A and B are shown apart, each in its own frame.
Chain A
């Protein structure tokens, strides 16, 4: 059992709260604090606007704050600390030089003139060019802040595309496979579309006949992840795209699994009209405990007019500016563009990290990345396939999906196994997704885990399968070696406590 460091709970004895680390509000003492900014006592604010509500922020010393967050940080699992086999999340190593590169661009305001931000624009322009080449598309917007915002952006562009052709009013439906990420139908709904789900066939592909039945003049588009969330490459991807195009629809590529295709194949060569990239997956930018990410959207020529504004223009003399702001002046109209989802270049600090990563790896390194990701997944599957059911028995790409249906019958569910893995020192895989696999364990090792780690992880998974068979109750009790044991999520939702209560 590791020793968990913590600050003493205040009022020890007077309270029965057991906790890993006090809340800031429990550490506060009136009068503590420090001079982090220059003192200023005057501010001319008319009395009717002045704050009368109390300002109950905690009063702490810097050492207290440092210890607090140091203790909290130590309670976290992270990529820096260990393997993160989360399927569809691509938790590869996050290179440190990327962070340092991004910090070079920290002191720049997005409303500065293009004259004072030529370095930003040069980097962004080159990144766009590289993404075009990697995806086989024609143009890119760097604006979306995450994959989901990129989906939303693309579907707005679909809507604008159909409007331009005069049939937006009748094209009210978006089709998604039953293996799709939840963001796909949610983005479609935000765009005002109805969502139709098509099933997968026995080989884990989109059921082409079912898709053709669902297609019609009321369909705006189809959203497809390839490789799909079963980790399988869509075997008839070109026929799928052609069928959608024949019905007058557009094909959206969800790039969540793009890591498998780096240097291996390009969505633009497979029939997709656009694809987004989660740079916080494919291009190694850190997940930041939930975000930030960035979701550049790469599109074919016919969708270009609808891309968010502004666009970067490179002059023949090697200088850059925005198309909407020659001499920084803004236009009378945004034309056919959908507008903007974030200002200018989106999460530039994240994009600068992705740029650094691509420059570091180069052509050969990127191709090796895709191949190694697929190699690692296939190797890991070979090590664990005897003890678990394999959802679809095909050669997977960068991830694969096991089913713990057998173990569930023995008394240990996918959830139990995922918790028991925590005791083994590994983060859990993605569980209960995709929805079409019962007791799903979705595993993506990524290319940055060495063979020794893959071996150790497989051994842990296999040990758990043995335990599920011999002593399922012990798996059901897990985890025991983590900072906390299983948490009561039902009470949390039924009786929500969403902020601290100030001690009275």
Chain B
């Protein structure tokens, strides 16, 4: 029996194939390869049966502590959200999962219509004119937005708020090395006054710490000096907050993972990328468009392809080829299932739980909420002991939170040594109780409260 489960050829097949080719062995097909480099010994071990592989993977997985295994408050662009059962059932159908990029539209209408609908759903959510079919993630979408603004303005300075998520700013800085852009980090309240000479200003709302930001004032100030305004946003927040399209934003980007896509330790996720209609010819990435077939039946194709690398090569708007179409289909299914009311409910749940939790924690004498203003569904917690140590102490009690001490970009840290607490509809009452109790105990509030 053939041990390789995916190899179809019997010995008789191989013999017949070699005969037809006119060679005696497969080795003869490799004459162009330097002799001493042929058939190296790799040393990666023997293959395994499916059953053994599955058992091995389960053993590895058991070494992790999943988000759902205890109170969990880590978030930011990637969030633990409820994924309706129908999302993976539909989006992971083999017809989507194992299809190629829809370059033959006659046999790819499923992908193309689903992606066109994704673009339409996100355009509704963002109130933007055009949404592309996806970027790798929110971080690369942010970097590509900066590059697009540079092409549109001919300027090489990009001003980014230091309250934009640190992973996005890291990727932005890395991408900027290519075009040798000047990246200037300033706090959000100085964005407006720093826009002069910039290709764009990049603001996040709600920001990395959960704080709500007056984007319109920043966009107005940017436009005043000929700069574009790029907003980093989050899909659930858009259900409740005024969307980028209503705030004067030119390019809106964000991480789409919370829309029904598993966290998967960081990917595959979904880069949301949207812009004003007038800017579409400089947009990166694939875009699906509506048309008709030879019989006049409505259909969809990849369009405006003269922006893309396979046509324009070094003059393309981006090098992106493989994207995250399957994640876009997840997001479309998720939004179709939840509808406007379902999305609002999920968003409100995060906000309500974050505010209730913040109120309880703020009542502890050792704690205070350190956001600069009103916050959305996550907040910043400051204690005497420092966020780093608090995070570790909470981890020892099985509670996972994020500390701002990890928010380094190029060796610089943003903000004080705090902890960020993210809530979603998955945050339960008992999770909240556990966090309040543990924070009280660790920071000494218990004794303080008892003494009062």
Contacts and interface: CB of A to CB of B under 8 A. Distances in A.
Contacts of A367: 39, 42
Given A65-B336, A451-B13, A264 B39 contact: yes
Interface in B190-236: 212, 214
A337 B90 CA distance: 41
Given A55-B125, A190-B147, A374-B30, A427 B104 contact: yes
B416 interface: no
The 5 closest A-B pairs by CB, nearest first: A362-B47, A288-B326, A290-B325, A292-B268, A110-B266
A492 B268 contact: no
Given A78-B95, A270-B37, A493-B305, A107 B68 contact: yes
Interface string B64-81: 111110001011101010
Interface stretch (A116-124, A210-218, A297-305): A116-124
Contacts of A58: 121, 336, 339
A368 B167 CA distance: 41
Nearest to A45: B240
A75 interface: yes
A347 B304 CA distance: 28
Contacts of A451: 8-9, 13, 16-17
Nearest to B31: A395
Contact of B86 (A39, A62, A117, A263): A62
A485 interface: yes
Contacts of A10: none
Contact of B101 (A130, A189, A290): A290
Given A339-B177, A368-B4, A292 B324 contact: yes
A18 B296 CA distance: 7
A432 B46 CA distance: 40
A394 B266 CA distance: 44
B43 interface: yes
Nearest to A347: B267
Given A20-B109, A41-B348, A263-B42, A375 B18 contact: yes
A57 B294 CA distance: 31
Contact of A360 (B40, B48, B107): B48
A482 interface: yes
A233 B32 contact: yes
Given A58-B336, A145-B322, A428-B104, 16 more contacts: A38-B345, A53-B127, A53-B242, A100-B54, A101-B54, A108-B64, A112-B265, A116-B400, A133-B42, A342-B266, A367-B42, A372-B7, A375-B14, A419-B106, A487-B105, A489-B105
Given A57-B340, A119-B61, A499-B130, A94 B98 contact: yes
B157 to A, nearest CB: 15
A175 to B, nearest CB: 12
Contact of B303 (A352, A360, A489): A489
Interface string B158-178: 000000000100110111011
A102 to B, nearest CB: 7
Interface in B312-343: 312-316, 318-327, 329, 332-333, 335-343
B183 to A, nearest CB: 11
B450 interface: no
A485 B106 contact: yes
Interface string B329-363: 10011011111111111111101100100000000
A12 interface: no
Given A55-B239, A447-B7, A191 B61 contact: no
A343 B167 contact: yes
Nearest to A227: B32
Contact of B293 (A375, A422, A433, A484): A484
B111 interface: yes
Nearest to B47: A362
B383 interface: no
How many chain A residues sit at the interface, stated as a range, is: 35 or more
18 contacts: A36-B82, A37-B425, A45-B240, A97-B54, A107-B67, A146-B322, A149-B136, A186-B312, A190-B318, A265-B33, A278-B322, A289-B102, A333-B411, A369-B7, A382-B22, A486-B294, A488-B292, A499-B120
A296 B139 CA distance: 18
Contacts of B262: 103, 106-107, 349
A366 B39 CA distance: 11
B109 A75 contact: yes
Contact of B179 (A77, A192, A358): A192
B309 interface: yes
Contact of A427 (B17, B97, B107): B107
Contacts of B130: 498-499
Nearest to A421: B104
B371 interface: no
B107 A57 contact: no
A343 B266 contact: yes
B374 interface: yes
Interface in A399-438: 418-419, 422, 427-428, 433
Contact of A290 (B102, B117, B310): B102
A303 to B, nearest CB: 15
* Interface-central residue, A107, A365, A369, A491, by most chain B CB under 10 Å: A107
A484 B347 CA distance: 39
B154 interface: no
Contacts of B311: 182
B265 A345 contact: yes
B180 interface: yes
B64 A38 contact: no
Interface stretch (B283-291, B431-439, B441-449): B283-291
Contact of A365 (B4, B37, B95): B4
Nearest to A56: B124
Contacts of B340: 55-57, 59
